[in-house]
Amino acid sequence: MNAIGNFVKKILLTVNGTARSESVIPLVNDLARRWQAEVLIARALDPSAGMGDLLVPIATENFYQEMVRATEDYLRDIEKRFTDVKCRTFCLTGFPGECIRRLALEEQCDLLVMASHGQTGFVRWLWGSMAEGLARRAPCPVLLVHRDMPALFRQILVPVDGSEPSAKVVEQIGPFLDQADTRVTVLHCSGLTEVEELENRAAGERVYRARCELKRQFEGKPWLHLEFSSSPAPEGIFDWLDDHPCDLVAMSTHGREGFDHLWTGSIMERIARNANCPVLVFPPALVHAPVSS
């Protein structure tokens, strides 16, 4: 198993001025210190937000400059909350999701970390929409954090649906595991009970072939444990999380093949919003890319 120090050198943290978005700072600080990584702290300003009357001249220019100065001060205050970690701050202008995605690409970030949603109401919806959109389009893995958690990932759950992208996450998380006692559980949720498998022979055969392929793929990996559930996703995933300790869920955003039920964005979003641990998401571009050794 690879050491994370060989992989994660830049962590991008995005904040929006709310306590919720800042709640991940202790986790990011711990990760950066342990991995000796640099932290990039970013906040994006959308100049068009809140401008109800497009005819109002951007004599709001002065107002905008004040916003930029206030944001730069805010980012400097955030930077002071990191200890023994190299940091840089970025005040971005434009649509937040695209600004963050572009910064991650230009800086070749290895991990993007953000709270899975904002506060309540519209802010919560807007922030959650951006977080989950980035999880599908970012150029690097995205760690969505629902609540403050220790930064040690010893118990990892990888839900799979029988598709190649979902199973490939097992290889993709290798660089993120630096504990000798790390245990990875691969959970296959078929959505078919034994009775249903017998009644629907074609569906039962697909389940059987998928599970045989998983056993073949993961044979000889002593740190990996394979489990099967007849529940559909995400219910089967939540059932497993209720019954087992877990420090991290790692998954792809979707699989384009496999069973009739696909890993759609909504499943990832439900897990990110409700899981009792952080969720590490590998966007489609990553799960379809070759795994670097």
Q: How do residues 11-35 score in pLDDT, each as one tens digit?
A: 999 998 888 889 999 999 999 998 8
pLDDT per position as a tens digit, 170-184? 888 877 776 667 889
Phi first, then psi, for residue 140 (nearest 5°) are -145, 165
Residue 249 — pLDDT band, cuts 50, 70, 90? Answer: very high
Contact 218, 171 (CB under 8 A): no
pLDDT at 208: 86
Rounded-to-integer distance, Cα 138 and Cα 242, Å = 29
- pLDDT above 80: residue 98: yes
Q: 110-124, 130-144, 193-207 — which is least confidently predicted? A: 110-124
- pLDDT above 70: residue 104: yes
Phi first, then psi, for residue 102 (nearest 5°) are -65, -40
- pLDDT above 70: residue 127: no
pLDDT at 120: 44
| Single-letter code of the amino acid located at 12 | L
Domains of the chain: 4-145 (3.40.50.620), 155-287 (3.40.50.620)
Phi first, then psi, for residue 190 (nearest 5°) are -90, -30
- pLDDT above 70: residue 243: yes
- pLDDT above 70: residue 293: no
Contact 121, 105 (CB under 8 A): no
Residue 258 — pLDDT band, cuts 50, 70, 90? Answer: very low
pLDDT at 276: 85
Say what percent of the chain tops pLDDT 90.
36
Q: 159-168, 189-198, 210-219, 232-241 — which is least confidently predicted? A: 189-198
pLDDT at 108: 95
Count of all residues that appear for the chain in the document: 293
Per-chain mean pLDDT for the chain: 80
Rounded-to-integer distance, Cα 8 and Cα 5, Å = 6
Q: Tell me the mean pLDDT in the region 50-61.
A: 51
Q: Tell me the mean pLDDT in the region 224-232.
A: 90
Rounded-to-integer distance, Cα 171 and Cα 184, Å = 11
- Picking from 253, 286, 164, the residue whose alpha carbon sits closest to that of residue 214 is 164
pLDDT at 41: 98
